[in-house]
Amino acid sequence: MTKQEWKTNLRALVVGGAGFVGSHLCRRLLQSGYEEVICVDNLQTGRIANVADLLGSLHFSFFEHDIVNEWPVSGALHEIYHLACPASPVQYQKSPIHTFKTSVLGSIHLLELAKEKGARILFTSTSEVYGDAQVSPQNESYWGNVNPFGVRSCYDEGKRGAETLFHDYHEEYGVDTRIIRIFNTYGPRMSAEDGRVVSNFIVQALRGEPLTIHGDGTQTRSFQYVSDLIEAIVRTMQDGVPHCPINIGNPYEISVNDLAERVLRMTGSRSSIVYKPLPQDDPCRRRPDITLAASVLGGWKPVVGLDEGLSQTIAYFRHLINKAV
Ligand code: NAD
Ligand code: UDP
C-alpha cells in the first residue's frame, strides 16, 4: 500500500458487505486505515462467516438490515458502497420482486443518504446491462440487448434502473456518484451454494460430482479474480473519476466447456460432465472492453490470470469442504 492510499478519519458504509465481493472490500478499507467501516447486509446470500474475523475490530460494525427499507446513519459519512443484490442467477431469481426492489429502492435510499451527508457513492452495476450482447467486446457506449420481460429481467432491469437513478441524482442534485459495470468475478469467500459457474464447477469437482454444463457449453464468459475488482473499486472512489459507467473485468474470454476442462485438470478430479438445458436468456458471449477503465483509473488492468485465480479459489473451497466433513 502506498502512503497516499492510507486513509484516516473516513467513515464508509458498505451495503452488501457480508457477501463475496463486499467482504473483500470491507477488509481492504480497514487495511487502508479507514476510521470506521459500517457493514449492512440482510444475509440473503451473504454470511456472517465472511466478516467474522472483522467483528472484533473497533473500526468495524455489522448490522443485519434490508436496504429495501431506509437505513439512517447518524454523524458524518464520507463514502457509500452499494453492493447489495444477489449476483447469482439462481439466487436472484428466487425472489425476483425483492431483487428488483433491492436495486431500485435500495439505490433511492442510499442516494438520499448520500445527498443528505454529502457522501460519495458507488454503485456496483453489471455486464448484464448489455444482456445478450450483439457486439463483442462490449464497451460502455453499447446500449445492450436486454429482455425486459423474462427471468433475468429483475436483475438486469433493476441494475439498469439503478444506473438511471445514479445518473439523475448526479444531474439533479449534484450527488458525487460512481458506477462500475462488473463482469463475472470469482474468488475465495464465494458461497459453495452460490450457483455461479466457477464455484459450481470447483465444488462439484472437489466432491467428485458431475460438472453441470448448461447448453452445449460453447457460450463464453470473461472471468476476473476478486482482488483485481477490489483494486478497481478503490481507484474508482478517488477524486477526479467521471460519473459515467466504467467496465471492470478481465478481457480473457473462455467457453464454459474450456472452463470445465480447466477445473477438472487443476483439481485432479475424475468427475464426469453432464449437460443441462441452457437457461432462458443466457447470454452467448461476454467480454469487456476496459479501455475506459485503464485511462480513468490510473492505468488499472487485471493482473491475476485465470490459472492463478482458479488455484487460489480451489484452495479456498478445498479447505471449506475438508472442514465440513
Ligand atoms: P453476493 O450475492 O455474494 O453478495 C451480495 C450481498 O448483498 C450479500 O451479502 C447479500 O446478503 C446482500 N444483499 C442482497 N440483497 C440485500 C438487501 N436487500 N439488503 C441488504 N443486503 C442485501 O454477490 P457478489 O458477487 O458479492 O456481488 C456484489 C455486488 O456486485 C452485487 O450488487 C452484484 O450485482 C454486483 N456484481 C457482481 C458480479 C460478480 O461476478 N461477482 C458481477 C456483476 C455485478
Ligand atoms: N453455467 C453452467 N453450469 C453451472 C452454472 C452456470 O454451465 O453449473 C453457465 C451459465 O448457464 C452461463 C455461464 O455458465 O452460461 C455463466 O453463468 P453464471 O451463473 O456464473 O453467470 P452469468 O454470467 O450467467 O450471470
Residue 137: cis peptide before it, omega within 30 degrees of 0: yes
Is residue 223 within 8 A of residue 287, CB to CB? The reply is no
CA atoms within 13 A on the CB side of 295: 6
The beta strands (E) that lie in the chain are given as: 11-15, 36-41, 60-64, 79-82, 120-126, 177-182, 185-186, 211-214, 220-222, 224-225, 245-248, 253-255, 273-276
Q: Do 211 and 205 touch, CB atoms closer than 8 A? A: yes
- Is ligand 2 within 6 A of the CB of residue 219? yes
In this structure, the residue with its CA closest to atom 23 of ligand 2 is 184
Query: How confident is the model over 224-265, as pLDDT tens digits?
Result: 999 999 999 999 999 999 999 999 999 999 999 999 999 999
Please give the grid coordinates belonging to residue 259: 472452463
Q: How would residue 210 be classed by pLDDT, with cut points 50, 70 and 90?
A: very high
pLDDT, position 5: 58
Which value, to the nearest 10 degrees, does the dihedral of the CA atoms of residues 43, 48, 50, 56 take? 140
Residue 7 pLDDT exceeds 80: no
177 strand-pairing partners: 121
pLDDT tens digits for range 155-204: 999 999 999 999 999 999 999 999 999 999 999 999 999 999 999 999 99
Q: How confident is the model at residue 1 (pLDDT cuts 50, 70, 90)?
A: very low
| Set 34, 81, 92, 155: catalytic member | 155
ipTM of the complex: 0.99
- How remote is the CA of residue 196 from the centroid of ligand 2, in Å? 6
pLDDT tens digits, residue range 186-197?
999 999 999 999
Domains of the chain (ranges; CATH) run 7-189+224-251+287-304 (3.40.50.720)
Decide if 187 contacts 313 (C-beta within 8 A): yes
pLDDT of residue 23: 98
pLDDT-above-90 percentage for the chain: 96
Statement: the pTM of the whole predicted model exceeds 0.95: yes
2 has a pLDDT exceeding 50:
no
Q: What is the 3-state secondary structure (H, E, C) of 168-207?
A: HHHHHHCCCEEEEEECCEECCCCCCCCCCHHHHHHHHHHH
What secondary structure letter does DSSP report for 145? B
Per-residue pLDDT tens for 17-62? 999 999 999 999 999 999 999 999 999 999 999 999 999 999 999 9
Q: How far apart are CA 208 and CA 39, in angstroms?
A: 36
Pocket test for ligand 1, best of 28, 45, 125 (most atoms within 8 A of CB): 45
Quote the ligand 2 centre to 184 CA distance (angstroms).
10
